[in-house]
């Protein structure tokens, strides 16, 4: 089974049940046949890696908005902790990006 994320357009083989403003349950592979078709070894893993990188970047942006809202309500300590988490997302995304470049 391949799942295509409606927003990111990448295939991955699992669904997400966390709540936020983008869907993760569309089950088709029409727009990513080269990624999902497994025409070359590792292509499905490459597509998953690419999806996860984009997905993590999206979540980091969502967390930045959350931090901003906490800061606006005077919860500076909460905002700082969230921003530290974002720094770790960014560091992880750097490694994912490097891994992806090694695959391509």
Q: How many domains does the chain have?
A: 1
The arithmetic mean of pLDDT across residues 89-102, rounded, is 96
The first and second tokens of residue 44, run together, are 């499905």
Running DSSP on this structure, what letter comes out for residue 3? E
pLDDT digits (tens, 9 = 90+) for 50-72: 999 999 999 999 999 999 999 99
Distance (Å, rounded) from C-alpha 65 to C-alpha 72? 11
Angle between helices 76-103 and 43-72 (to 10 degrees): 160
Q: How many CB atoms lie within 10 A of CB 30?
A: 8
With CA atoms as reference, report the closest residue to 32 among 48, 17, 16, 21.
48
Read off the pTM.
0.58
Average pLDDT of the residues in 79-102:
96
Domain holding 26, by residue range, is: 3-103
Residue 40 binned pLDDT confidence (cut-offs 50, 70, 90): low
Q: What is the largest CA-CA distance in the chain?
A: 53
């Amino acid at each position: 089974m391949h799942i295509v994320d409606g927003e990111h357009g990448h295939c991955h083989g699992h669904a997400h049940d966390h709540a936020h403003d983008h869907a993760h349950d569309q089950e088709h592979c029409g727009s990513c046949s080269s990624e999902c078709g497994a025409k070359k070894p590792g292509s499905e893993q490459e597509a998953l890696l690419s999806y996860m990188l984009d997905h993590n970047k999206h979540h980091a942006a969502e967390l930045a908005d959350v931090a901003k809202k906490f800061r606006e309500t005077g919860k500076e300590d909460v905002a700082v902790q969230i921003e530290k988490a974002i720094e770790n997302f960014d560091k992880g995304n750097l490694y994912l990006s490097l891994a992806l470049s090694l695959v391509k």
